[in-house]
Structure 1
């Protein structure tokens, strides 16, 4: 497993696995505490694992948490997704930086999203399973959502959004979310 910095988002990393494939399928390591530790992260900080299954075109995001935020490890365990991170940490050297990735079950690459960054993705395959490992228990009262189609973000979603939650459809724009965060 190899760690690579994401230049557009300070503190974000890609953890690239090396799947071993043969006639049975493949095997690879998807989490390695020593590799996580080598980039200055605490592997024991992650306290909750979740998984979502999405069909082609489903869009989830853009999500983040208020308060202390939430760091997460994101991996597409099956299928393919277009994954997006936006840096919303006002003290970050990459504030408002955006990064786009294709994560897939074939590569098993894991993305580390630092706390204070918005995250979202769209399923590109007929079905996509996305795994999340987060560093704080989920508290719905801290959920923040930004409009996926905000012109200021200009995210190049590869497919029309076929389905999304009501919360995602009705999310405020980036300017409104940044204003609300300053008022807190």
Structure 2
């Protein structure tokens, strides 16, 4: 596996070695030892999630203020623009975001540690997203940051107004949101 650093050092792109031939492909999508040694990802994963969304569906920006979740995100069908926003008030990167195209072809994954909001928009006809989390879903602690917050100025690759849930339309602006210490 290759570890690719981003502008926020705690968020990394993980690129697996892919072996392809006329039969198809094989890749190792998760190896705890390699992630510990190469990327210092020592968290224990407790839950796997799988979503399917149509083109222009935007999910997020979600986080849990307690039982904060680290997420290891990958796409097994289609393509998304995946975003992580640093909500750690003590971080010099507070309020900054990283955006990465993840797709079934490149098989890259994005590691988003606890303390970040996460969201994505589907840029292909549909996408299936799998992600591991370091803590369990706790709806009582779930929060949503407004995806279109002008202070964040996320460069979503949108051609039309995205399809967004009522919960995500009601997301908070960063300046009003609960954040991490």
The interval holding the TM-score normalised by the smaller chain is over 0.9
Matches within 5 A, 1:54-69: 54-69=53-68
**SS at structure 2 position matched to 1:95:** coil
* Alignment-derived partner of residue 168 in structure 1: 168
Q: Distance in 2 between matches of 1:119 and 1:10?
A: 16
Q: Which stretches in structure 1 are left out of the alignment for 5+ residues?
A: none
The SS at the match of 1:167 is: helix
CA distance in 2: counterparts of 1:68 and 1:10, whole angstroms:
22
- State the shift of 1:24 in Å: 2.5
Summarize the alignment of residues 114-125 of structure 1 with structure 2, pairs less than 5 Å apart.
114-125=113-124
Partners of 2:120 and 2:128 in 1: how far apart? 11
For structure 1, which segment, 55-64 or 165-174, has the greater mean C-alpha deviation from structure 2 after superposition? 165-174
- Between the two proteins, the alignment pairs up a number of residues equal to 179
Shift of 1:181: 4.2
SS in 1 for 2:111: strand
**Is the 8 Å Cα contact of residues 78 and 104 (structure 1) preserved in structure 2?**
yes
The answer to whether 1:71 aligns with 2:70 is yes
Aligned-partner Cα distance in 2 for 1:162–1:72: 23
CA contact (8 A) 2:95 2:174 kept: no
- 1:10 deviation in Å? 3.4
Q: Structure 2: state its 5+ residue gaps.
A: none
Distance 2:157 2:110 in 1: 19
The answer to whether 1:97 aligns with 2:88 is no
Superposition TM-score, scaled by structure 2 size: 0.92
Structure 2 equivalent of residue 34 of structure 1? 33
More helix by share: 1
Answer yes or no: is the 8 Å Cα contact 1:9–1:86 preserved in 2.
Answer: no
Q: Deviations 1:82-109 (Å, cap 9, x if unpaired)?
A: 1111111011132222111000001111
Are 1:2 and 1:35, in contact at CA under 8 Å, matched by a contact in 2? Answer: no
